Structure 1
């Protein structure tokens, strides 16, 4: 007879989920007992790192990732990373071991009190089965809920004494279920949308991360070329939805109301695709829209559509919406936008520290054309987008909610998902410390990420904000005395410090050939975001 354990693993297998990202405690051991040979367990040394690795894997594949955390404490450790997953629409299936059912009521050690409430509001659905027989069905619901648009994380708390319980054979029917989404606007709605786009005098396109997630990048290029429209990337960009050297590309919008309105001034129609309207950060009040402009919002997320403070919205499949709109859009006779000038190369210098702009020039020249950049150096965002060309879908990942600790583990997860593309993690020295144990996982599983640590001894983005907020005398803005090469070697990762551009070029070229994780520490100057 089937057990909860065997039925659940059969369900996971049929759904193509054969990797488990975890950090186990006693409550999780009954689930991991007799671990199937066709599954792989990927261990992280901290739950935030575990979730970050799984997040990177899920972002790169577009598929659900299964995470196994330890009760309330482990779930709490992962909550910081979960903020990024929620805003990046990552379909994560997070499971947490619960104490034995008979011990939960007395709140014995390792009981997860009111477990479904713990991860909210950062999950789409949260549940603890009311009896053992409901565990496989709940797991099935978790997987399908995570994967339905808008995708997002879910949470399932499972008492550890449920796994060995026998279960009715009907539970095996769950393994063969499919749940598909088929949401598209009506022909009349698409015709009205196309009419507004075709009749616009000066349209502008703003693209967000879901364009890249739905692999609609080429459709975005086709639409921009038909309209001869400038293309901006939505503020707080967590992915790259458009080739950065295309003549229509204009850069990333500032994350401020007044700044966005100023950049989009002069356009009568603003078409926003696959992004919230908008993810603001800096408090700079102003008009939401420029004078005379209207806005159309295409999104996969009904919550994003509902909470937007302006514009009309259509909720649906981003790839389907874009494909239909491209087919209905007429070729304009407007002149095409002129390409942005490529920034002048930074002059060679024999002295350190290296300017981040110079480092990015080298990266652009040396990295493979299909390299994937996982970025978590917030003070160098603008310089990176200006100087590093990103050509292909799935080439860039950044923490969607700004929660630090994303970069190192996400790079590991992305590299697991994309073994045929080189992952380059560009991480600030302040950010790196939030998830430094990800290096151990990279070493143990021989995951060949190239980690580049930009070491300027300070929280660069905070330095910038301290000037804006007139709080430059705030304590805690500097992080001196860090030796990342020693730390990396302690975790089993080869590491080298490079103090000149020539040394960096040599080290990076060696890392490309290494086929194992390598960390390059680069002392850099401090620049503004």
Structure 2
């Protein structure tokens, strides 16, 4: 008779879950022993890296990815990464090992108190009542992960895999499940009426609009209205081509800046994001009195928490395309493109700063590159200088937690070796998942990791200074060599300390990135310092 494991493998094949990201433990050995040759095992050296790689893989493919974690220790180590996957809308099927159910009541060694350990970040969590229900639980987890776009967890006691399968047990999840995702015509008509009555509309693009169809639809709407398009603050993905003439920049994350940026507009349409994401608390309204807000999103939670006059819950691309057909074309001369001056290059003997690295990348980055960002102190400069020019051109951790970009870049490249992948990280951020470099090297993942190394938590130093501290409570870590660490994990690495060597290295590496079969970590020594703030303007008016 077939075992639960045999039937579970058939379920995994049925749903395309044939790549398994894992860091194995003893409670998972019974599953992994004799793993079929058509299932690929990808090893991560820490559970946060395992989930990070799986997250990048899921975001690149647009389908659920499969991860395996080891009881309490594994799930506990992965909670932060699971939270990031949830907020980044990455669909994951996560199998978590557990002690043998026959003596769980006695709390044996490695018995996990797993229920609720990951908090509310899983979109679904379940331990089957009997071994024979494991295959059906895996099938349902795939649907739950896909539909809710987050991690769905199945806890499986270790002896369940070898139990005899019940071939008469009905599957509780269908092979195919269709959901209606139509657009409410009355709600769309209300949004159209707002825009038709507007004298100065503006659009805010969000991460939820990051798809080829979404970019095409929103570009068509913006050009029909001839209005500026902002990117949501702290957007984990780009919702609009940032090299387009109508792109206005990234919204400020505080209410005073938000009101100023949107003050000239009487209607604000947010697509694929809530209205609005914030970071520091400030009192006052989001927009000036009299400005009307509309939201189009496929995430009901985003609609519910937005103080909008009207919200449409639907696929953004479909809704925006329908909306555009309802609207007349704007009259008058076309809006001019923003002009973005570049920073000056460092002279001989001048210190190398992060802005110089980002400017060099911007000049050389392939059009279709996927750029993953995890450099908090340099994020404004990156946004100002390095536009996302293709869907999935930019990825960042929606939760703001560190440890995402390095492993996610590996997953993105594994899932799509046809596109160049570059991760830009601070040296402090790189240390949160540095062990993922072993996976990059072992599986010949040809990504480029650019580490801006200033030997400190520069963003925290800046915040501490703003809070009134003369000296931060934490020391710098200038002794850390990311190059040495990378080489210790087998990953090729180089350290660059001046501008000519930086340009020479990028000129050598970036043109070959699409076909590259081995990773490279480039540690660039930069001086901490103030931001370069790129000014942008339409004609003579600076913004």
Q: TM-score range by the shorter chain?
A: over 0.9
Give 1:28 deviation, angstroms. 0.9
User: What is residue 80 of structure 1 aligned with on the other side?
Assistant: 80
Match of 2:137 in 1: 138
- The residue aligned with 2:205 is 207
- Give the structure-2-normalised TM-score: 0.93
Assess, with a 3 A threshold, how the Cα gap between structure 1 residues 330 and 55 changes in structure 2: closer, same or farther: same
Q: How far apart, in 2, do the equivalents of 1:291 and 1:106 lie?
A: 63
- Counterpart in the other structure of 1:121: 120
Name the CA shift for 1:451/1:286 in 2 (closer, same or farther; >3 Å): same
Q: How far does the alpha carbon of each residue in 1:44-69 deviate from its partner, in whole angstroms, 9 at most, with x for none?
A: 00000111111111112211011100
Aligned pairs (5 A) from 1:95-114: 95-113=95-113
2:414 is matched with: 416
Partner of 2:323: 325
**Aligned residue in 1 for 2:69:** 69
1:42 aligns with 2:42: yes
Q: Aligned residue for 1:168?
A: 166
Aligned to 2:380: 382
Structure 1 outlier segments of 4+, above 6 Å: none
Q: 1:401 Cα deviation (Å)?
A: 0.6
Q: For 1:282-309, what per-residue CA distance to the aligned partner results, in whole angstroms no more than 9, with x for missing partners?
A: 1222212212111111111112222234
Shift of 1:349: 2.5
In structure 2, C-alpha distance between the alignment counterparts of 1:141 and 1:395, rounded to whole Å: 31
CA positional deviation for 1:473: 3.0
Residue 176 of structure 1: how far off its partner (Å): 6.3
1:294 and 2:325 matched:
no
CA distance in 1 between counterparts of 2:156 and 2:351 reads: 51
1:159-199 Cα offsets, whole Å, 9 max, x none, are: 11111112222458678611123222332332222222222
Q: Tell me, in whole angstroms, the C-alpha distance in 2 between the residues paired with 1:171 and 1:359.
A: 59
Tell me if 1:255 matches 2:253: yes
* Residues 352 and 499, structure 1, Cα contact 8 Å, conserved in 2: no
Deviates more, 1:354-363 or 1:437-446: 354-363
> Contact (CA 8 Å) 2:57, 2:65: kept in 1 or not?
yes
Structure 1 residues 394 and 4, CA gap change in structure 2 (3 angstroms): same
Give secondary structure in 1 for the equivalent of 2:484.
helix
Separation in 2 of the partners of 1:36 and 1:316? Answer: 40
Q: Aligned equivalents of 1:318 and 1:294: distance in 2?
A: 19
Which of residues 501, 504, 529 is equivalent to 1:503?
501
CA offsets 1:430-463 (integer angstroms, 9 cap, x no match):
1011000010000100101111110111212212
Of the candidates 514, 517, 523, which is equivalent to residue 519 of structure 2? 517
**Greater mean deviation of Cα atoms: 48-57 or 214-223:** 214-223
Q: 1:499 to 1:57 in 2, by over 3 A?
A: same
Match of 2:538 in 1: none
CA distance in 1, matches of 2:492, 2:337: 40
Partner of 2:536: none
Partner of 1:306: 304
1:101 & 1:305 partners in 2: Cα distance?
Answer: 42
2:55, 2:90 within 8 Å by CA — same for their partners in 1? yes
Relative to structure 2, which stretch is displaced further, 160-169 or 446-455?
Answer: 160-169
SS of equivalent to 1:139: helix
Q: CA RMSD in A?
A: 1.8
Partner of 1:235: 233
Larger CA deviation: 155-164 vs 347-356: 347-356
Q: 1:135 to 1:392 in 2, by over 3 A?
A: same
**Residues 158-197 of structure 1: pairs in structure 2 closer than 5 A:** 158-170=156-168, 177-197=175-195
Q: 5+ residue gaps in structure 2?
A: 532-543
CA distance in 2, matches of 1:470, 1:322: 46
1:253-301 per-position Cα deviation (integer Å, ceiling 9, x unaligned): 1211222122111211111111122221112222122121111111111
Cα 1:187/1:424, change in 2 over 3 Å: same
Deviates more, 1:68-77 or 1:279-288: 279-288
- Aligned counterparts of 2:401 and 2:443: Cα–Cα separation in 1: 26
Return the alpha-carbon distance in structure 2 between the equivalents of residues 329 and 3 of structure 1: 59
Q: Does structure 1 retain, via aligned residues, the 8 Å contact 2:23–2:45? A: yes
| Counterpart-to-counterpart distance in 2, 1:469 and 1:348 | 31
SS of corresponding position for 1:464: helix
- Cα shift readout 1:213-251 (whole Å, capped 9, x = no counterpart): 574112111111111111111111211121222111111
**Does the 8 A contact of 1:352 with 1:524 survive in 2?**
no
Say whether 1:25 aligns with 2:30: no
Name the CA distance, whole Å, in 2 between partners of 1:265 and 1:241.
Answer: 22
Of 248-257 and 435-444, the range deviating more from structure 2: 248-257
Task: For residue 344 of structure 1, report the CA deviation from its aligned partner.
Answer: 2.4
* Residue in structure 1 matched with residue 448 of structure 2 by the alignment: 450
Q: Is 1:147 aligned with 2:149?
A: no
Mean alpha-carbon deviation: is it higher for 342-351 or for 422-431? 342-351
What is the rounded CA distance, in whole Å, between the counterparts of 2:383 and 2:45 in structure 1? 32
Structure 2 Cα separation of the partners of residues 447 and 483 of structure 1: 22
TM-score, length-scaled by structure 1: 0.95
Inter-CA distance 172–231: structure 2 relative to 1 (3 Å threshold): same
Distance 1:236 1:27 in 2: 39
Offset of residue 73 of structure 1: 0.9
Give per-residue Cα distances to partners, 1:307-334, cap 9 Å, x unaligned. Answer: 2344432212222222222222221115
Question: How far did residue 471 of structure 1 move?
Answer: 3.4
Alpha-carbon distance, 1:480 to partner: 1.7
Unaligned runs of 5+ residues in structure 1 are none
